[in-house]
Structures are given as structure tokens and as C-alpha cells.
Amino acid sequence: MTLPTTADRLPAASAPVRLGLARAWARRLGLLAESKPALIGTGIVLFWVLAAVLAPVIAPYPPNANHLAAVAHPTPSATHWLGTDHLGRDILSRIMWGARTVLTVAPLAVLGAAILGSLLGLTAGYYRGWIDLVIVRACDIVLSFPVIILYMIILAHFGSSALNIIAVLTLTKAPIITRIVRGLTIELREREYVAAAKMRGESPLYIMLVEILPNARGPLIVDMCLRTGYNVVIIGALGFLGIGLPPPDPDWGGMVKDTYGMMSVWPHMALFPCAAISSLVIGFNLLAVGLREIGLRD
């Protein structure tokens, strides 16, 4: 009789693992469904995601199309549900197309900051000593600058584009995530499973990425969700200051800036883009609250 090889045993061993992962995810989704803030936040975020994805199909007009007949009467009507701006462009269409930009730039910037901040935080918290000191002091230097002024300086020098805004947000938000991951790493590096990995002869990189980082994902995911909402506000503020995404592409903050002098006469031109920014930020914040509740109960 021949003994089963390792390859023969792998499928049988991996099936329970996959089943356990599926049950864990099902349990987390069940907990998420039990949280009212999470349900509301998820619904708001999904609404804007669908609006952004389906904008080419369901937007009533092209985002930059000028309707000269509506310039004299830009108020909401049956033809233009949210009205038009001072150039006769349909506000509903521009808001839907602007969601595509916001929901691309904000999450990518958070993802970049999370990757950079996690690597720096893991390194600082695991090695400590002079490495920790250098990384922490570098983060302090970046955090000491007023962020809006820093954005204005960098974007004025390199120019306003989606890529530059993502880079700026990544560099300015990474130090905050570095501090969070560093604190979690200092705590987790003393756990028994880390000591066991060291005794097995695992490399520091393996310990940081496989043993420590997965156990720090809960607070990190919640912070990423909150920080995505913050980035939506920052992108809107940059657009309002005139250093956001270049025209004529729709930008919620830029839409408010373009009609700044007409708010007393045509308030809807600024009201609807501001409502879009506020609702998306509230959605991400409520989703973060729900994720935090899951972390406390899981």
C-alpha cells in the first residue's frame, strides 16, 4: 500500500479552509446587515457608485453640453431636473459625471496612503530604535505643515491633474496611517504567534506582512473608510480654490466655485454639488461606524 503524497492531501486540506473563510465572510456580512449605520452608509455609497458607473448611460445630457435656451432660466424644470449652471450645462449630468472622478481619485489616494503608511509603520514599529526615530520624525515634519497650503504649493508647482492630486493626498495622508500602524505593530510584535514565527526562522518581512499586518487590518480598514470621506472633502475644497481637477471635466468643488457669485440669485447651482459632497462623506462615515461595530463584535 502506498502512502498518500503531500499533493494528494492538499485538496482535502484546502476545502475546509475555503469553507471556513466563506463562513467567516458570511458572518461578517450578517453583522454588517444588523448595523443600521452600516446599511445606510453602504446604501449611500452604492448609490453614488452606481451613478458614477452608469453615468454614460443614464445621465440625461453630456456633462459639457451647453443649452443656450436654459441660460436665461437655469432653475430646475422638467427638462433639467436640477437646473443648469451659468453656461447652460445640466447640473444633474455634471454631478453624475463628477462622481466618477471623486470615486476614482479619493479611494486611489487612500489606497496609496495605506500601502505607504503601512510599510513605514510596520518598519518603525517592528525594528524600533533609530529606524523608528527617523520615520516618526519624518512624519512629524510632514504633519507640521498646514495641509491646504501644502496642497496649493505642490499643485501650483506641478500642475493640477488627477494623478498629481492622488500623489499629494497619498504623501500627506501616509504619515497619519504610519502612526496608526506603528502603534498597532508595537503591540502585536509581542504576541505569541510572532514569537513562534521568529522561532521558526521566518524573515522580518514575512512576520510583518503575514503575522502582524493581517491582525491590524480591522482598525486600518475603518480608518481607510473615514479617510476616503475626508479625501472627498479635500478634493471638493481644492476644486473650490481653483487648484482641483482642470476644467471642463466636472468637479463638484469646481461647480460650486464657478457659480460662487450667483449663489444669492441661483442658489441651486451650488446647493446640489454641496449636497452631493455631504451625502457621500456621510455615507463613508456611517459605513466606518458599521465596520467598527463589526470589529467590536467579531
Q: What percent of the chain has pLDDT above 70? A: 88
Sorting pLDDT into bands at 50, 70 and 90, what band is 295?
low
CB contact set of 295 (below 8 Å; sequence gap of 6+): 218, 219, 222
Least confident of 34-38, 226-230, 252-256, 288-292: 34-38
How many C-beta atoms lie closer than 10 Å to residue 180's C-beta? Answer: 18
107 or 241, which is more confident: 107
pLDDT digits (tens, 9 = 90+) for 114-156: 999 999 999 999 999 999 999 999 999 999 888 888 888 888 8
Q: What percent of the chain has pLDDT above 90? A: 52
C-alpha separations of 115 from 26, 31, 77, 128 in Å:
27, 27, 46, 20
Sorting pLDDT into bands at 50, 70 and 90, what band is 73?
confident
pLDDT for 244: 83
Bridge partners for 84 per DSSP: 90
pLDDT for 4: 45
For the chain, domain boundaries: 95-243+270-297
pLDDT for 15: 58
Look up the CATH architecture of domain 95-243+270-297: Orthogonal Bundle (1.10)
Residue with cell 453614488: 48
Q: What CA–CA distance (Å, rounded) separates 207 from 181?
A: 14
CA terminus-to-terminus distance, the chain: 46
pLDDT for 31: 64
pLDDT for 112: 96
Least confident of 24-33, 46-55, 76-85, 217-226: 24-33
pLDDT for 243: 86
pLDDT for 113: 96
pLDDT for 250: 85
pLDDT digits (tens, 9 = 90+) for 194-212: 999 999 999 999 999 999 9
Residue 3 in this model has a pLDDT that exceeds 90: no
8 or 167, which is more confident: 167
Q: What CA–CA distance (Å, rounded) separates 158 from 169?
A: 14
pLDDT for 18: 60
Sorting pLDDT into bands at 50, 70 and 90, what band is 74?
confident
